[in-house]
Structure 1
Amino acid sequence: MTERVRVIVVDDHAVVRAGLRALLGGDEGVEFVGEARTAGEAVRLAGAHRPDVVLMDLQLGDGVDGVEATRRLRALEDPPQVLVLTTYDADTDINRAIDAGATGYLLKAGPPEELFQAIRSAARGQTTLSPEIASRLLRRSRSPEQALSDREVEILELLAQGLGNRDLARRLFISEATVKTHLVHIYTKLGVDSRVAAVNAAVERRLIRLDGTPPQR
């Protein structure tokens, strides 16, 4: 008999946790070993139950997001693989999660079979991405000259909060002239000619998200 993959679910919504618990319970290849609402609970559970895979939402309930929770889990002595399962599909979220050590990134809208396959792949240490995410990253890799740098994405996130050039310069510890140079590059890459248009284009292309959540870096 094939050994089952031990899984912990981390999500701040009880209904979502219950749904995933029921879904995972229907797969003979998966063993549900616990659920957590916060990053702290996730780390404690992982230390106690030694899961193979942690399904991680990005928005958690204790002020510490799923990216930081991922980083803490991957820093454990015997770290589990972390598979992000979220509704957020902005490039900045994807990049931060992968940089923190996530082995995969799935969207909650995907079919159950996609989740089960991803769990098995993650348990083997293999990277798994939702088809929509993989396609977008592939398109970006084919046009690297149009890809925004991390600094440019950060500036876009601050623009979305309404910061002017002077405030941007103070927040990022750079000169206003440097801010203006970054804006020129951003406008060129996005094919726009104003701050509002740049933010709108970035949201439409899922480079950043507007949900009232400040950027967390």
Structure 2
Amino acid sequence: MPPRGPAPAVPLDTAAVALYLGHYRSAAPRQELTSIANYLAGSGNLRRQGNLLLVEPLIGKAGTLLPTGQLTFRLPNQQTATIVLAQDKEGRRVLITSMPIAQADYALAVGFWWWLPPALLALSVLLIITSSLAALVGLVRVLRHKLPRAQLLPRLLPLLALGALATTAWGLASLIGHLTTDGHLSTVASVAASLGPLVFVACTVAGLVLTVRYFGRFRRPAVA
């Protein structure tokens, strides 16, 4: 039996897809671990370019959807339709991807404020980087006895918070990688993903409290 060829592409029904253009965010229960990354890093944008339909992530290369029906599509490297545009029972626009479990998704359309989580994430990362650099400079000055020792811990805590955040990201990435491949959960990654956020919050709150407490001393060059 000859191999089955890809589903033939049909002309894009621009009137039908016009109702579904916009940003989508994952809402699949099986994708809860990765949906937080999807939520923070920005949703995918479905837009039309001429006779093509594109799915654009906030960062990365856009994917092209080839129409196989009025609201069904396939990727260029696929044989059959795996993507459907539809509405749920509540009338919300959804983008359904029926591929292997690791890639299957159920995405809901989001409104104007889709950009707020990635903007806050970028601002948070910027604040973490700048505070960590300032903490590193201050730590060197404290160790060289150019600043009071009372300023050591407030300047060290941002670096510890950054380390906890990096450990959390590694733990989540490791868990997602194992779940989508062999289904095995690493104990070390589970502990890192669970305790990392707690350590990050504790270091952040402690650093804020100590900074407020010793704020008046930060401009004093005298060594304690």
Bin the TM-score by the shorter chain. Answer: under 0.3
Normalising by structure 2, report the TM-score.
0.25
- Structure with the largest fraction of strand: 2
Q: Which has the larger radius of gyration?
A: 2
